[in-house]
A and B are shown apart, each in its own frame.
Chain A
């Protein structure tokens, strides 16, 4: 998906996605750049004087920005020793914007040695320094090194688009009954739960510091909230009985909503984990199962799965259980089972999977218009989970044989594989790790 500098001039003339004047970045507002399918601003990350740590930073930045899908990365013949186009004159450093423009770059990123390391984001069209980021990156072999660089990549994206990237994020997922975490770029795989414990349905706390999940026991399954770093965990009250699963935090991090299967059927419950009290049943499942809840980002609505019309479909209700209604429209007797909804962080969409000819496929519903569209079609694609930018969606796909986590960029349609493990299921994408 990279293009070489040779095509740059053509792209410059025909596409011309202009960067606007330097504007103070505002969260959630894209500044100056309009995205069109196939037309993305060109981005060049300059090489520099040989230094293993700086070179690692540049390599990780390039990959993060490539994975971020906002830019068309420009690759040049490798030269580790020169900072292309940066010269020093009597009035300090000079930057050869014309050269970058000729190479097809709309944005050029330079990692300058020093303490702290400084990352420059140059706006090539307006010939200005769009952002100068002093960054404190730990030593190369520090466990926090990669995540620190991911944060820099997210800031570069913010400097250009107004919204931070999603490189500094992680996934939780299930592999053969054990929960693991992995960084968004597929590095740093680590087990979260001990070997031998049979676990299920991991999810993140809003802070990204805790995981909630199910651990099976002889008669059912109990919910736990575990610290990602220390590993300490505590059981969620009232879940010692029955089979409790799909725990999901409310956006305020205080309430856990989950499914419980027992002799009364399967229903959605909430529990106040902060005060450790107040179990509340939101659905009544005498003749139907209700499960897989997900909060809207304002915490006021919950989408969930119900079998009240026969096959499982997507419903919604207020966070106190009132106002239950069908959410994602379907044709009775025609539309396949719909499951695993997750509300997007911007509140605009609900992603879920729906059976199409015997295989689950990823669907998106626009919350305003209630229109549904299908995103995938090859193989089994299931259990979607949103990146914090509301633009990227991860899901499980068996398109290469066994189940792995994949990411799709909803704006460009680009797809990449995240995990290469034995088997990955039930992914949960974290918020930004700051």
Chain B
């Protein structure tokens, strides 16, 4: 190797020197040959790129649409859940010192029964309340009976007993702190709360 490199450099130098010494017409620049394969490839590549671009736009558009649909569905579901939740939370009221379900309130409990049937993992807590007029201690027992009355109504119509727990607050948590007939009537109530299974709620058929 030590010999060959200097040798080739020497030969190259001789050729360059000879050409310069000859002078005359310079050689014409070589005309590039038309390579049709390359052109076709290039066009195809461009076309592919365009298609890819369009596909991606279409995909993005579809994705956006899908997301929008999903969002719409989620919103619809949330709206529905909210509506069903509202029906679950709907209070029922009681006559003074009474714990029987009033005729007008049966429909409210019937809606809750349909919702419990459409949502098998849903469980509820019923809390009974009273107005301030009776004895403070007795009112806890009265609130308990009011909660039990709602539970019994629903259990008698096919809801499993372990899906409804009961509680009472007597007169300790009034909705309306006034001492009027209206306030008392509002305060004599059962409140319903979701204990579990209420993240997404289906509406029963026809609601």
Contact = CB atoms under 8 A, between A and B. Distances in A.
Nearest to B152: A263
A292 B135 CA distance: 11
B138 to A, nearest CB: 5
Interface string A289-315: 101100000000000010100011000
Contacts of A307: 141
A219 B136 CA distance: 19
A291 B145 CA distance: 13
Contacts, number: 78
A177 B172 CA distance: 8
Contacts of A353: 135
Contacts of A198: 172
A289 B141 CA distance: 7
Contacts of B167: 218-220, 243
Nearest to A243: B168
A429 interface: no
A339 B137 contact: yes
B93 interface: no
A106 interface: no
Contacts of A184: none
Given A177-B172, A216-B169, A243-B168, A337 B134 contact: yes
B140 A261 contact: yes
Contact residues on A (Cβ < 8 Å of other chain), bracket? 20 to 34
Given A200-B172, A263-B166, A245 B144 contact: no
B125 interface: yes
A170 interface: no
Contact of B135 (A220, A243, A266, A360): A360
Nearest to A289: B141
Contact of A246 (B137, B145, B168): B137
Given A220-B167, A262-B144, A245 B137 contact: yes
A383 B125 contact: no
A103 interface: no
Contacts of A236: none
Contacts of A200: 136, 140, 172
A265 interface: yes
Contact of B138 (A220, A337, A425, A426): A337
B115 interface: no
A219 B124 CA distance: 12
B141 A291 contact: yes
Nearest to B165: A219
A265 B148 contact: yes
A259 interface: yes
A201 interface: yes
A interface: dominant SS: strand
Interface residues of B, number: 22
A220 to B, nearest CB: 6
Contact of B168 (A261, A340, A360): A261
A64 interface: no
Contact of B140 (A243, A311, A425): A243
B137 A291 contact: yes
A382 interface: yes
Nearest to B133: A358
Residue of A261, A266, A312 most packed against chain B (CB within 10 A): A261
Contacts of A259: 137, 140-141
Nearest to A263: B166
Contacts of A426: 136-137
Contact of A312 (B125, B138, B166): B138
A29 to B, nearest CB: 36
Given A200-B172, A312-B135, A337-B138, A289 B148 contact: no
Nearest to A174: B136
Nearest to A425: B136
Interface string B57-99: 0000000000000000000000000000000000000000100
Contact of A292 (B137, B148, B169): B137
Residue of A177, A266, A311, A337 most packed against chain B (CB within 10 A): A266
Given A219-B165, A243-B144, A263-B166, A291 B172 contact: no
Interface string A203-244: 000000000000010111000000000000000000000010
9 contacts: A177-B172, A198-B172, A216-B172, A218-B167, A220-B167, A243-B168, A245-B137, A305-B138, A358-B133
For the complex of A and B, list the 4 residue pairs with the smallest distance between their C-beta atoms, beginning with the closest: A261-B144, A339-B135, A266-B141, A289-B141
Given A243-B144, A266-B140, A337-B135, 6 more contacts: A177-B172, A243-B167, A262-B144, A263-B151, A292-B138, A426-B136
